[in-house]
Structure formats: structure tokens, C-alpha cells
Chains A and B, each alone.
Chain A
């Protein structure tokens, strides 16, 4: 029996605003100093009132427009009511029946090598405030729980996808593409460790029957997934569990109510969770403390102009403009806007886009990963790399020498020394890596080596091509920085005389 996996994701993204959504408090991640970024408004003190942060709304508009959503000309705020200690007002200000955006999609590259994409529908994106954080005693001694309200009131954008995702891997790709878009737009840092991006997954199966019919299994919501890895692992687990459950019970959608499950990363299993309240009636109603928000066409135009280039467009441009492979274009663009721009500057500066791509996707990414650096922290800046690649192009040094210099520059840079393009010339000179173009000098050395190796000469002349290799090595030893291609060519000429 086979089945189709049906997944829809709800992603919560913290927006990169300096202040909270309904008050002026800082949104900085500050777990070591709880409850310092608070005021009467985000503490929910009696008499305090919310005032919308227009910047948060603009960032949301930017995101929704990039997700091809319809923007509502009129939107309002609703109160979602439930009791929980991290929710100081007893309700969360959110958007219920009139979200500011609806009905969009995101093109996801499901196979980067092939460049194949799939369109994942977006049901809606709405804006809301984040709750605080409950801190529980984990020693098991049962002391009091504590609440940190630094995060309470941080603007959160909830992006709800259609159930268009068909595997755990696709979900991961969707999230990666979404994160990339959000960071390109500068609307969120998507730092999952700090909770800037969190995910809930709704999953069930359509089990194919021999008669051609599909039977849907009950929908399960997996809550609070805090890494892409956990999204993938929990879905893989849950898909397997649901299929086994189906085989055991034969329960289909509608026969049992929707279940909420958590993900235990340590055990590698999902587990049944009790909701925040027994029944989930949130008694939504329009927040009377806030006025509805209207959006004008002029405002939308202004934001549209500020959007910049989307990752998907950039990949396409890199492939077409710089003749990069699907793979290289994806690797470069998917690292984020900063790396892609770094690459582009180097490609244009050195005039060899392919060479630049090789260096960025191999040497730079490898060093970044090994040394845990971002491209912004990488000490070899664009002008230096341009100069280095220029030396290869003009055959002033070999690629091998360039790699040696690259590592030296990186080491010096990480020691805090300023790295200028002129440092390359110093290293080439001090290490004697300059390719030697003095034909007279090379001729003399070659003549000397040929004289010293009559056996190799005889071997070559009797047809053993490999004999020339040993001679090249001896010449190179005497003339550092000689171009091996050229040495081979001159040797062959000499021996063929």
C-alpha cells in the first residue's frame, strides 16, 4: 500500500524591528537579563494601551508582496484569548478574519542540481505579537517557574502555507527558500537558535487504495519545531507513525479530532501534547484599543520599488549572465545576499566568472565553514581576491601558488593584520612564486638537465612519454615559479630536436 504525504507549514518569523510591535521597548535577544526590555504596555499593566509600530507593518507588507500575496486594503487587529503565564494580558493581539495579506505562493527549488522548482501556495500571512518565555525548573526539584517578558510584544509574522508539501525533504527546502527570501529582504535574521524563526507542521497521509481511491488519515499538528533538521526528522518520524497507526486502527480524517504533538529531539519521536486550554476556543474579537489599518496604492508602490532582487531571480541571472551551472548558482545565492554580492563583485572585477565561482564555492566556503566565519567576517575582501585571481588570469602565478597565497593571506588576516592587494605581490616575491618568463634562463636550465639525464632522454626518444615528467620536476626545482605547462612544452621541443 502506498500513500502521498500532505504537509502544510505555519512559520512564525520575528521581524527585524528595533522596537516591539505595540510599544517602544527594544526587541534585542537578551536572555541573560530577563524582564529588562519591558514597559507598562508589554507588561500588560492596567490602563496601558497598544500603538502599532508602522515599521513592523511595512516589513510585513514587504514580505507578503515578495510572497506574491494579495494585500488587503483594510485590515484589523483581533484578540486571541487564552490563559498562560507568558501572556501578560490574557490575550495575544493577532489577526483573525481579516489578515493583511492572502493567497500567495513561493517558488521552491526542490532539486538544485536540476534547477527544478515547485510552487508552494501561501494561504495567508498575518502580523501578531510574540509572547514571553516561561522558564521552568529543570532540576526536577519542583521549584517555581519564572517568566521572562523581554520577548513579549516582539513583532511576529505568521506565514501559513497551503498543504502543498509532499515530503520531509521538501518541507526543509521550502523553509530554506523562505529563510533565504526573508534574509534577502532584510525583514528577519531568521536566527533559529534565538527563536527568530519557529515552525509548526500540519501533516497527514492520503493512503492509496487498490480501487484507486485515496483515504486521508487524521491531521496532526507538530508544534514548536525550532530547527530545519527537527522539522525534517519529526516529519519523517510522524509520516511513519501515521502510516503504522493507519494500518493498526484504520482511523481516517474526521473520525478522531485533530491532535497536537510535540517533538522530542533527544528521543527522536513525536509525542501527544495537551493543549494550553482543554478546549481551544480563543474567543477572538476585534481589539477595541487599536484602529483598523488601511494601505494605499502609493504605499504599496513605494514598497514594491524597495524590494530589490529576489533569490530566485538572482540564481537565474547568475546562470544566464555568468554562465554558471545550476549547482554553482544555487550554492552561491543560497548562502545569502551578502555572499552572492561578494561573488558578483569578484566575478566582475577579475573578469572570469567561472574562476570566481570556483574560488567562492570551494576555497571561501570551505574556509568559512572550517573557521566558522560569515562572509562579512572573512578577512580577504573583494579587491584582494580580485587581485589574486587576476594574477592567475595573466599567468603571473599558478593556481597552486594562488592557493598558497590565499591561505597565507587568510592566516594573516585572522591574526588581525590588514590585508591589501599589495600584500599579494610581497608574498609572490618573498616565496619566489612568480612565473618565470625568461626563456633564456629556462633554456639554459633545460639544457643543463637534459645533459645530466641521458637515460631519461634515451627513454623519451624510445617512446616512453612518461620519462619527461621526471625532467619537468628537476627543472621546476631549479626555477621556482616556472609554469609547468611551459616547461613541458620546451622540454618536449628540446628532446624532439
Chain B
């Protein structure tokens, strides 16, 4: 079997047995990038020599009989939102075009400790703001299933990289669906864990109370393994939660008996593509056949999720992005007449349209006289959204839904209609607002051969249950085995 067609587990087994070396594996992925990334444009940075050097080091370590980490020799792509020591980290923005962090993000340290090979940095919507990766200041990533379509976003580069077999694993960040929606659009597995499960230290902030890192993989086991490596308490992130990390990769194959799946009536309404709806209903039948009980639940406040999200996220963003002022690092305008002008010109030149739009939305919502009506109100509704879920999870183990109302849309299709673009996250936003874990797995194809994703949500810190539920479906279907033809 070829290296590129292998799952993460298969790669691990072959590496352990010595059938292949990490250099073989890394070379195969680097070659795939070299051949196809000019088309897909998933990567912002690939350092072939550095990747091969890491691979050689792991091979040497293994050959010398030393203990190696859980991801020894396995390539992992990183969304360009995580800081990598000595390696340019742009966040998809002109503002950070020349920014080289002096430190590694917590997850990058974890990956290095696990002996993973960091193969490159992937494209993204600028500062993770967007649902199509069209807001990158550098390039537009294409959906490997249809190059005229977007891979989704904001982690479109990572999703496309795994989808196009340019990396077996990738890391993304998810603030309102930025892992799950592109996973759905690209036909791969993507997971957003519980808020606090993975340290945000070194994750360039978009909206701090919503941001969470997570794994992409071609199958559920791969996602389980990567999640296991990334998870765990970190004292450098005050919101990181000190809850033990189960060995997700060990338990993932165990089916759940007596599984109760919730379906929210609010999720199947106008605007949902018929093919998507059909695929989700078929997926529910698969679970029924496996003995699961499918029950209707209600999430009455979910209708406010988009409104609440687009107050809270831009508010936090307007503050988080204030540091990009051209004073200490990042882009500084060449011509300016005074201090205020330096700020305006640097930020005006350094940020793209969508980032500016969200900064303005957020600054407005936090302004004196508007704070109570917008930000404070949004916080209250956010709590109600969480209460809906708490209520629902009293009677079900997971909630199943589409990951997005449609399969991948065309590049340029929504770029001039921000509201329609915002609505493409309608199924994913609630999990961020409520802090819940969610996973998206391949669940079919549209008539145009575009992947359709099934989203499963669970109660906080129920990642293990979520992965096992997802794996039950994957075992019965072969959607995840389909690969885009490039």
C-alpha cells in the first residue's frame, strides 16, 4: 500500500516495524506537495530540508533503540496561526508577513515531544476570520474535490492538505467552525475539542473565549491520536482545564452500547440543502441499525447563535488585534506624519477587509452606550445557548447535525455577501459559544461529487464518547476512504 493512501495508524505500524522510514514517509508527502500544491495552494510555507532533517533525527532515534513519541516520524501540517520558534508565522495577514516568533506554541512543543515531523504551515483566512480561506492575504486555497470551490475556512489550508494527501495529519483552530466546516467541505475528519482541553498558549488569538485548537486527519483514529498528543493542562494558559486526558486512540474502536443520539428540530429548517439533509438522515439510519436510539431534542436559542457570535467574536477580536499597531513588531507604514497617523496607516495597510470589518463591529459593540445592549446581552444569550445544550445532554449522548447548510461553495460566490458567508457557520457556532466538543466526519457526497460532513456534538470533556460514536459510523461506511482526484 502506498504511503499516501495509508491512515495514520497504518503509517505508525509500518514505521514501528521498520517497513518504511520517516524519511520515506516525509519524502512522499513533500513530493505530493511539490506536485500538487501549486494547484491547491494549501501551504504558505514548506521547508523541505528542515522537514527531512526532523525525519532523519527520528529515524536515528528509533534505530538507536531509544523510546520514541506517539507520532514518531509522522508528518503534521500546522495552520499558520500557531507560533513556531524561528519559523515565520503570518496568520494569513500582511500584518505579520515578517513575524518570526521567538517561541513555540504549546501544541508545537507537544508535537515535537511526540517526535512528529512538522512539514509546513498552512493557509488560512486572515487571523482565522472567514469561512472560505479567501480572506488570506497570500493565496486562495482550492478545494481538492473541485478546484473551483473553496475548501471552507478558516482552516482551509489544513483541511485541503489532508484531503489532498499532502499531510496525514494537520492542526487547525476553530472559533466558530473553522475546523469542522472545512473538514466537511474537504471530506476529512476534523475536531474541535472542549474549550480548555488544549492550551491556547502560542495560538494567535482571534476570539479568546471561543478559540480552540484541534486535529484534522483522514480518519477518526488519526484524529484521536493527534488530539491525545495535543491535549492536557498547561499552566501558561489560565483557561486550560486540568482534567486528565484519556487515551483516545486506545478506546476509539470500542462501540458504545445504548447510544442516544439527539437531533435538534431547529437544525432541519429552511436554507438546508436537500442533498445534505438526505445524507444526514441516512447517517442517522446507520446509527439506528447499530442499535442507537435517535431522539428529537430542542435547542430553542440556537436561532440566536449567529447574532451572538458576531457580537462576541468581533468584540474580542477588536481587542486582541489592537496589539498590531506597527510599534513593536509587524507591519509599519512607511509614510506617516504623527503617532496617530502611524497607527492608522500601519493598520490600514496591514489588515484586510474582513478583519477591518470585524474590528469595527467589535469596537462598536464595546463602545460606551452600546455595551449593555450588544456585548452584555450577547453574553446572556450565550449562557442560554449553553443551557439548551445542558438540558439536551440530559437525555442524549451526542447531537447529530449537518456541519454546514451546503457542500463547498464556489470561490468568489459569497465573498461579496458577508452575511451569507456568516450563515454558512450556522451549525457550528453554537459549540464554540457553549464550549462543547464537536467533530465532523465524512458522511456522503452530493450529486456534484462534493463531500458532505456529519457533525456530532457532545457535553464538555466527552471527547472520548464523541470519537467512539464517530468511529462507529466510520466503520460502517467508506466515505472517509474516498480521495479527491488531483
Q: Which residues of A contact B (CB under 8 A)?
A: 40, 43-52, 79, 81, 83, 85, 88-91, 147, 149, 281, 283-285, 288-291
Tell whether, in the assembled complex, residue B323 and residue A51 are in contact, meaning their CB atoms are under 8 Å apart: no
B238 touches A285 (CB 8 A): no
Q: Does B343 sit at the interface, judged by CB under 8 A?
A: yes
On chain A, the residues within 8 Å of B235 by CB distance are 51
CB distance from A97 to the nearest CB of B (A): 11
A44 touches B105 (CB 8 A): no
Stretch among B16-24, B34-42, B198-206 lining the A interface: B198-206
Q: Are A48 and B328 in contact (CB under 8 A)?
A: no
B contact residues around A288 at 8 Å (CB): 207-209, 239, 316
Q: Is residue B15 within 8 Å, beta carbon to beta carbon, of the partner chain? A: no
Task: For residue B232, give the distance in angstroms from its CB to the closest CB of chain A.
Answer: 16
A47 and B205 contact, CB distance less than 8 A? yes
Contact check, B319 vs A49: say whether CB atoms are below 8 A apart: no
A44 touches B209 (CB 8 A): no
Inter-chain contact A47/B343, CB cutoff 8 Å: no
CB-based contact A50/B102 at 8 Å: no
Q: Which residues of B lie under 8 Å from residue A52 when comparing CB positions? A: 238
Q: Is B237 an interface residue (CB 8 A)?
A: yes
A83 CB contact (under 8 Å) in B202, B204, B322? B322
CB within 8 A of B203: which of A47, A50, A88? A47
Chain B: minimal CB distance from A134 (Å): 10
Closest-CB distance, B174 to chain A (whole angstroms): 16
**Interchain residue pairs A-B with the least CB separation, the first 9:** A90-B322, A288-B209, A288-B208, A283-B366, A46-B204, A47-B202, A47-B83, A281-B368, A44-B323
Of B209, B319, B363, chain A has the most CB atoms within 10 Å of the CB of B319
Across the interface, A46 reaches (CB within 8 A) one of B91, B239, B368, namely: B91
Complex CA gap A81/B203 in Å reads 21
Q: How far is the CA of A441 from the CA of B352 in the complex (A)?
A: 104
Q: Is B339 an interface residue (CB 8 A)?
A: yes
Q: Does B265 contact A (CB under 8 A)?
A: no
Chain A to chain B contacts (Cβ below 8 Å), 30 pairs:
A40-B103, A44-B328, A45-B101, A46-B91, A47-B82, A47-B83, A47-B203, A49-B201, A51-B236, A51-B238, A79-B319, A81-B322, A83-B325, A85-B339, A88-B328, A89-B322, A90-B319, A90-B323, A91-B322, A147-B327, A283-B371, A284-B366, A285-B375, A288-B208, A288-B209, A288-B316, A289-B205, A289-B238, A290-B238, A291-B238
Nearest residue (CB) in B for A291 is: B238
Q: Bound complex: CA of A7 vs CA of B371, how far in Å?
A: 31
Q: Does B333 contact A (CB under 8 A)?
A: no
Flag whether B99 is at the interface (Cβ < 8 A): yes
Q: Which residues of B contact A83 (CB under 8 A)?
A: 322, 325, 340, 343
Would you call A45 and B329 a contact (CB within 8 A)? yes
CA distance A88 to B325 in the complex (A): 9
Question: Bound state CA distance, A187 and B359, in angstroms?
Answer: 39
Interface check B484, CB cutoff 8 A: no
Which residue of chain B is the closest to A24 with respect to CB atoms? B236
CB closest residue in chain A, given B105: A47
Q: Closest chain B residue to A283 by CB distance?
A: B366
Distance to closest chain B CB from A463 (angstroms): 89
> For the complex, what is the distance from the CA of A290 to the CA of B209, rounded to whole Å?
10
B315 at the A interface (CB under 8 A): yes
User: CA A81 – CA B368 in complex, angstroms?
Assistant: 12
Q: From the candidates B200, B371, B375, name the one contacting A49 in the complex (CB within 8 A).
A: B200
B89 at the interface (CB under 8 A from A): yes
A31, B75: Cα distance in complex, Å: 46
